[in-house]
Structure 1
Amino acid sequence: MTVGEASGVGVPDADRWVGEENGCFNMIFPFEFLKLWDKDVNDSVDVRALKKVLIQVNWY
């Protein structure tokens, strides 16, 4: 089993990266949601934006 961190790989490109026959990995971890923390430290996280990203990658 191979696992990779997929910074920069968007949901539409995941099929090229994941798969037993044609993919590079069996599993990847998308970190797209980390962009939600690219704000001032005192700002709160936009929970709706986080939920949208997690729904895209089927984590919610």
Structure 2
Amino acid sequence: MSDEERRKRAAEQEARALRALESIMNGGDLGKETLDLSNEYSEGVWARFTTWFRGLRRPKA
């Protein structure tokens, strides 16, 4: 992953977190917002791990 892609992903994550905070401050459901953020993060980590693992299992040419 390039530096540009990392910066873009970080900016998207920050924007999502700020929207969640704003929602919570305006009376949103704290549990739902934190669970949603946690799930998004976990899914991203799991996707990167599976991509890495599949790369290990590929036969070397």
Give the TM-score taking structure 2 as reference length: 0.35
State the structure with more CA Rg. Answer: 2
Return the structure number with greater relative CO, CA threshold 8 A, min gap 6: 1
Give the TM-score taking structure 1 as reference length: 0.35
More strand by share: 1
More helix by share: 2
